Amino acid sequence: LSASRCDPDLPIGVFDSGVGGLTVLRSIRAALPHESTIYLGDTARVPYGTKSRDSVLRYSLQASHQLVERGIKLLVVACNTASALSLPELRAELAPLPVLGVVEPGAEAAVAASAAQRHLVLATEATVGQRAYTRAIRALAPGADVEELACSLFVALAEEGWTDGAVASAAARAYLGPVVARPSAEWPDSVILGCTHFPLLADAIRAELGPGPRIVDSATATARSVAALLARDALAAARGATRGNLRLLLTDGAARFARLGSRFLGETFAVPDVEVVDL
């Protein structure tokens, strides 16, 4: 490791295709309040979830380099699509910088939460196309039954702020109705929110599924993995009395991001808090 990369005082870099990764950032800041963070949302090119692998890979490399140039001690790929499509390439390109995605922590949490190892993964079209969750779950529980379901419309609903009410319920019914209609023996006992936007729709998803299945949120699981990695590599910041800094970078649309983002992050921020960058 170069000296600067080893510095525990450097921020944790977090990148996502847009506003959604703020749900992951929120979990990281809740679990590790004294850590500084720098977030990059590629709002000019969101969504990644309907794009080709080549495009997602190129965008992910550009976004990561932007954060690395500013100095970070760890990169969190807080986007399921980017994690599913580009994690090995990012790790190879950025080594020895540690790079953590959201798929492996989510898969780990799901395996731990499931008695029957019958999993349903809700994600974007691109993530589902890679079957990354299926591989990650089966690496831990080889006989697991894993079904992946593309629910791309949930992304737009979360961006619009329509996370409850009739439209959210109708979308949840359209996606999950066929699963719920099966005989109960064929139901999943774990449902993974495999997209950064989906924790905002957790209530609508829960209402459709009923109380049975465990709903696993990869954002919380990722925050635990971040904490474990920092401890393992002696990279944790000193625990001071002050809260860690937060810097926000975007590739477009600071006003929209400020309006939407507070809901995802659970903290309010304004346009002057956001820096617009060109990748």
Binding string, residues 204-243; x marks residues near ligand DGL by CB under 6 A: ----------------------------------------
C-alpha–C-alpha distance, residues 84 and 78, integer Å: 11
Q: Are 205 and 122 in contact (CB under 8 A)?
A: yes
Residue 199 interacts with ligand DGL (CB under 6 A): yes or no: no
Residue 197 interacts with ligand DGL (CB under 6 A): yes or no: yes
The residue among 125 and 147 lying less far from ligand DGL, judged by its C-beta, is 125
What angle, 0 to 180 degrees and rounded to 10, lies between the N-to-C axes of helices 166-180 and 153-160? 160
Binding string, residues 72-91; x marks residues near ligand DGL by CB under 6 A: -------xxx----------
Greatest CA separation for the chain = 58
The total number of residues written for the chain in this structure: 279
Which residues belong to the active site? 79, 195
Cis amide prior to 47 (ω within 30 degrees): yes
C-alpha–C-alpha distance, residues 125 and 172, integer Å: 16
Q: Are 196 and 20 in contact (CB under 8 A)?
A: yes
> For residue 154, with 0-12 CB atoms within 10 Å meaning exposed, 13-18 middle and 19 or more buried, which class applies?
buried
Which two three-digit tokens encode residue 186? 């064929």
Name the minimum Å distance from CB 50 to ligand DGL. Answer: 7
Residue 264 interacts with ligand DGL (CB under 6 A): yes or no: no
Residue nearest to ligand DGL (CB): 49
Contacts of residue 270, defined as CB under 8 A and 6 or more positions apart, other chains included, come to 258
The partner residues of 75 in beta bridges, in order of sequence, read: 13, 99
Count the residues of the shown chain that bind ligand DGL, applying the rule CB under 6 A: 17
Residue 104 interacts with ligand DGL (CB under 6 A): yes or no: no
Which two three-digit tokens encode residue 175? 């996606």
The residue among 127 and 190 lying less far from ligand DGL, judged by its C-beta, is 127
The residue among 11 and 47 lying less far from ligand DGL, judged by its C-beta, is 47
Residue 49 interacts with ligand DGL (CB under 6 A): yes or no: yes
Residue 155 interacts with ligand DGL (CB under 6 A): yes or no: yes
Residue 101 interacts with ligand DGL (CB under 6 A): yes or no: no
Only one residue has tokens 């990561």, namely: 64
Residue 105 interacts with ligand DGL (CB under 6 A): yes or no: no
The residue among 219 and 254 lying less far from ligand DGL, judged by its C-beta, is 219
The correct pick among 11, 41, 47, 253 for binding ligand DGL (CB under 6 A) is 47
Give the residues lining the site for ligand DGL (CB under 6 A).
16-18, 20, 46-49, 79-81, 124, 127, 155, 195-197
